[in-house]
């Protein structure tokens, strides 16, 4: 294998790690927002939930920006195709994230319109939680690309059954992540409602996971020839079962860990089954974007990898420090 091939594979894995980090970290605060109306009964509960994510939510989103920046640098063709072709959907996500951020600030200080800001927070969390999965589903199953590898569909092309199903699977994983985090960070009656939400989302997740597997048999029968992808499927199920045991024994930290491993396993399934593609061209493999025809030069891949290997430990260390400082139960 040539050096540039090693670099391409390394970056495929590293970008996957960045998306895993974003999903685990921002997943729980998106989940908190989506579950907000169902968990909180009064202002004290609402403040406790908001305070549980207040110190960390903006730092969590840095992982998404880093993943996008890495895509731009090392796989520019895939970046250009996805961000231009999915433009309307991504703008919806962007506006949802903006209103979500604004709503957190205004919810605290604009008491007269607190209900409005609460629903802005919830909708601003639900919409990205769903659309991120829809985008991934489209990338995995393939989208119409022309000879220049540019997106040749429209907004409604993205709303096909399989991508929507993957979107619902991603949403269920985010809800599970949010519920387990709420159990970890709250107490009293609010914690018990979060435990009930964990049980409900635990069931909802496995229903969506099985539905996605069945749909994958129909839409992508070659998936089951990839041993690594199947191993990640078993890893997801094992983490899901371990989560139930931890939840029953009230090992809240372990429950959150296993929920995070469920999320990581989903990315493992997607990455292992999708490799070496970055964006599949629907119906025409010749127009598909792969790590070979969609990457930057060897020099760019080398320089950016060196930067990443220096920067990533710093980011991980800083993130760990922040979570250590703000550990413990959030109060209303």
Query: Which string of DSSP letters, residue by residue, matches 101-167?
Result: HHHHHHHHH-GGGHHHHHHHHHHHHHHHHHHHHHHHHHHHH-B-B-TTS-B-S-GGGG--HHHHHHH
Average pLDDT for 297-307: 95
Residue 314 placed within a domain = yes
pLDDT at 285: 58
Is it the case that residue 51 has pLDDT exceeding 80?
Answer: yes
Question: Residue 237 is part of which domain span?
Answer: 3-325
The residues, ordered by sequence, that sit 6+ positions from 270 with a Cβ below 8 Å of its Cβ are: 136, 140
Residue 330 placed within a domain = no
Residue 133 placed within a domain = yes
Q: State the pLDDT confidence band at 225, using cuts at 50, 70 and 90.
A: confident
pLDDT at 53: 92
Residue 11 placed within a domain = yes
Residue 191 placed within a domain = yes
Cα–Cα distance, 318 to 58 (Å, whole number):
14
Tally of domains in the chain: 1
pLDDT at 286: 65
Q: State the pLDDT confidence band at 283, using cuts at 50, 70 and 90.
A: low
pLDDT at 262: 97
Residue 131 placed within a domain = yes
Residue 332 placed within a domain = no
Residue 113 placed within a domain = yes
Is it the case that residue 293 has pLDDT exceeding 70?
Answer: yes
């Amino acid at each position: 294998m040539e050096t540039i091939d090693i670099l391409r594979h390394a970056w495929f894995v590293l970008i996957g790690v960045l998306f895993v980090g974003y999903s685990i970290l921002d997943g729980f605060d998106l989940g908190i927002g989506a579950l907000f109306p169902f968990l909180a009964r009064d202002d004290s509960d609402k403040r406790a939930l908001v305070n549980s994510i207040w110190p960390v939510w903006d730092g969590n989103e840095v992982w998404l920006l880093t993943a996008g920046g890495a895509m731009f640098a090392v796989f520019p063709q895939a970046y250009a195709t996805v961000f231009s072709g999915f433009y309307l959907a991504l703008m919806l996500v962007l506006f949802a994230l903006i209103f979500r951020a604004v709503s957190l600030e205004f919810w605290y200080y604009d008491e007269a319109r607190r209900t409005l800001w609460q629903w802005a927070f919830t909708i601003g969390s639900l919409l990205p939680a769903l659309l991120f999965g829809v985008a991934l589903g489209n990338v995995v199953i393939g989208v119409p690309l022309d000879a220049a590898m540019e997106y040749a569909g429209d907004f409604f092309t993205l709303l096909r059954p399989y991508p929507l199903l993957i979107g619902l699977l991603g949403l269920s994983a985010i809800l599970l992540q949010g519920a387990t985090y709420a159990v970890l960070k709250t107490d009293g009656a609010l914690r018990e409602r979060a435990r009930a939400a964990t049980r409900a989302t635990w069931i909802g997740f496995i229903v969506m996971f099985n539905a996605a597997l069945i749909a994958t048999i129909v839409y992508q029968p070659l998936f089951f020839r990839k041993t690594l992808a199947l191993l990640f499927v078993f890893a997801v199920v094992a983490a899901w079962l371990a989560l139930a045991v931890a939840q029953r024994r009230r090992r809240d930290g372990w429950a959150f860990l296993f929920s995070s491993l469920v999320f990581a396993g989903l990315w493992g399934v997607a990455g292992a089954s999708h490799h070496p593609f970055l964006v599949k061209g629907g119906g025409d493999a010749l127009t598909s974007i792969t790590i070979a025809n969609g990457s930057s030069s060897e020099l760019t891949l080398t320089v950016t990898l060196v930067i990443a290997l220096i920067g990533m430990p710093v980011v991980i260390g800083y993130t760990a420090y922040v979570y250590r400082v703000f550990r413990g139960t959030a109060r209303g």
